[in-house]
Amino acid sequence: MFTGIVEEVGEVLAVTSEGATRRLTVRAAVALDGSDVGASVAVNGACLTVVARDASTLAFDVGPETIERTTLGRLRPGAPVNLERPLRLGTPLGGHLVLGHVDGVATVNDLSRVESTARVRIALPDPEFAPLIVPKGSVAVDGVSLTVAVLEAAAFEVMLIPHTLAATTLGRLRVGQQVNIEADVIGKYVVRSLALRGAS
């Protein structure tokens, strides 16, 4: 369980293939603390397991399912990635509850700067995703907890403050870029419950 409050931006140092699995080696600093082999770390919003570590890097194996459903299969050496360690009991919940289970890959289709902030419009990956996004609700974009500012039939907009632009990879977004999206977990349970009851 994560909060969507990115702790640091790491750097992909190496990507190697082992059959259908890819191993990501990521340079980290803050996320190293407590992240022993077997620990979970959110990488661009996807919960991965540490399989190796040393004094400055963490390594993760990315399986076929994760490659298919996230942007992690497109990462190359030099790419920046958002890193967050799991939420610890007793610590403040600064963002919202994020599982690290990416729902889909969406596309940035508009980006405009408004003084020191940015407005980003993101096209939903599938019409079935629409009920999971609500105005002023929470959504994780590449693992960053954000508030939905505007909701359309097939897209939503978020506003990025200067701190988010500086402290996460979202400051490097460009039109056409694909991002990992995770809807609020409470909304997913509500939609599933209503579907089972036959409600629309």
Q: Where are the beta strands (DSSP E) in 115-194?
A: 117-123, 138-141, 144-151, 155-160, 178-183
pLDDT, tens digit (0-9, with 9 covering 90-100), for 10-27: 999 999 998 889 999 999
Instruction: Give the pLDDT mean for 97-111.
Output: 94
pTM: 0.93
* More confident call, 145 vs 195: 145
Per-residue pLDDT at 7:
97
pLDDT per residue over 52-84, tens digit each?
Answer: 999 999 999 999 999 999 999 999 999 999 999
The mean per-residue pLDDT over the stretch 40-58 comes to 98
Q: Is the pLDDT of residue 199 over 80?
A: no
Question: Quick one: pLDDT at residue 174?
Answer: 96
Stretch 152-156: mean pLDDT: 93
Averaged pLDDT, 123-138 = 90
- For residue 191, the number of C-alpha atoms closer than 13 Å in the C-beta half-sphere is 13
Rounded CA separation 26/28 (Å)? 6
Mean per-residue pLDDT over the chain, rounded: 93
Which domains are delineated in the chain? 8-84 (2.40.30.20), 104-196 (2.40.30.20)
Give yes or no for residue 171 having a pLDDT over 90.
yes
d(CA 56, CA 29): 6
N residues, the chain: 200
- Over the stretch 28-38, which tens digit does the pLDDT of each residue have? 999 999 999 99
Query: Exposed e or buried b for every residue in 16-50, given b needs 16+ CB within 10 A?
Result: eeeeeebebbbbbeebbeebeeeebbbbbbbbbeb
